[in-house]
Structure 1
Amino acid sequence: MLLWCLSINISFAQTLPPPTYPRVVGYLGIVHPLLTIDEGGSEINFKDHYVVGFPIGLNLWKSKQIGFSVEVVPLIRAQDGTSRVANVLFHPGVLVNLGHDFTFAGRLAFETSGRYGVTPVLNKIVRHGQTLNYFVAIPLPVRFGNDRPISATVSFQFGIVF
């Protein structure tokens, strides 16, 4: 009986079969802009205000190497005792598998604030689960438009892929 139980545990512990393509995965995350720089100087999140975003997206992998992603990111700003949805970002892009659980995402950016631009993202799966994978990412948004100077931001993102 003990050997039978062990054999069942071993069979469940085996790795999952390789995925087939095309393949669709979804993800949820939290993104924290850390530092934004423009010609007027720099702005640090967590200092005079707090901005947090909640990326929600779908990735369509055409093959193991290349895919397409679409993401929507509501951004909440808390300042002076109040909070509000300050911006919503539409973020389509191309995915490139770099190997060793790293992915590059080259995204276009269209914001309800009137700004637009690009966001290169380096993503790393840090933990594989049975049904979920956990990731961290470094998005580097560059924004133009809406009568404001060009800005660049360094952000930190983490989340789950399902």
Structure 2
Amino acid sequence: MNFKLYMIALGTTILTGLFAAQLKAQTNTLVTYPKITGYVGVLHPIVTFDTNGSHTNFNGSYTVGMPTGINIWKSAGVGFSMEMVPIIRAENGTSKMNNFLFHPGILLALGKGYTFAGRAAFETSGRYGLTPVLNKTLIKNKNTSYFAAIPLPLRFGNDRPTSFTIGFQFGIAF
């Protein structure tokens, strides 16, 4: 595992939390549609299951993704999202970008800060599939909001067994 990469991810988490704690809550304002928002985040796959068993992140290697996307809300309840995720893998003292994910999908507002994203997945590794995501806005301010999400990627293809992953993502939308 690349200790430097782990420390960068940990530092990002701590700084985001400290910054978020100092921000004030947003006041309600009139929103017009379509509404366009962008976001960046950090994605940690936690555990992956396939016919060969399970593999956990941090067990022999460390994988981290950096999702960046644009959301186009058609109304307060429905939108389209386009996400791009470079994925970095660190093991044996080295790290490299080993995959890139194109992740378009639909957004459905569920209320009380929750959103469901149903995404298609196309990876440069040759894998493809679906990723349902449950997202929760944790802190909402005038120009930004902080969120956490649970992505559940299901992948097929490239002569590998079907896999299912449970992940954790956090980030900032603007």
- Normalised by the size of structure 2, how large is the TM-score? 0.84
Moved more, 46-55 or 16-25: 16-25
Q: Give the letter aligned to residue 67 of structure 2.
A: P
Is it true that 1:55 corresponds to 2:67 in the alignment? yes
Matched, 1:146 2:154: no
| Partner amino acid, structure 2, of 1:17 | T
Q: How does 1:37-116 map to 2 (within 5 A)?
A: 37-116=49-128
Q: 2-side partners of 1:131 and 1:141: how far apart? A: 30
Q: What is the CA-CA distance between 1:14 and the residue it aligns to?
A: 7.8
- Give 1:19 shift: 1.2
Percent of aligned pairs with the same amino acid = 59
Q: Write out per-residue CA displacement over residues 20-48 of structure 1, whole angstroms, 9 at most, x where no aligned residue.
A: 10000000000000000000000000111
1:124 match: 136
Residues 128-156 of structure 1, C-alpha deviation per residue, up to 9 Å, x if partnerless?
A: 12211000000000000000000000000
Larger radius of gyration: 1
Q: Aligned in 2, Cα 1:73/1:83: closer, same or farther, shift over 3 Å?
A: same
Structure 1 residue aligned with 2:18: none
5+ long unaligned stretches in structure 1: 1-12
Deviations 1:75-132 (A, max 9, x none): 0000000000010000000000000000000000000000000000000000012211
Unaligned runs of 5+ in 2: 1-24
User: Which position in structure 2 is the counterpart of 1:6?
Assistant: none
Structure 1 residues 112 and 14: CA distance shift in structure 2, 3 A: closer
2:30 to 1, 18, 28: 18
**How far does residue 158 in structure 1 lie from its aligned partner after superposition?**
0.1
Contact 2:43 2:67 in 1 (8 A): yes
Normalising by structure 1, we get a TM-score of 0.91
Residue type of the partner of 1:138? I
SS in 1 for 2:54: strand
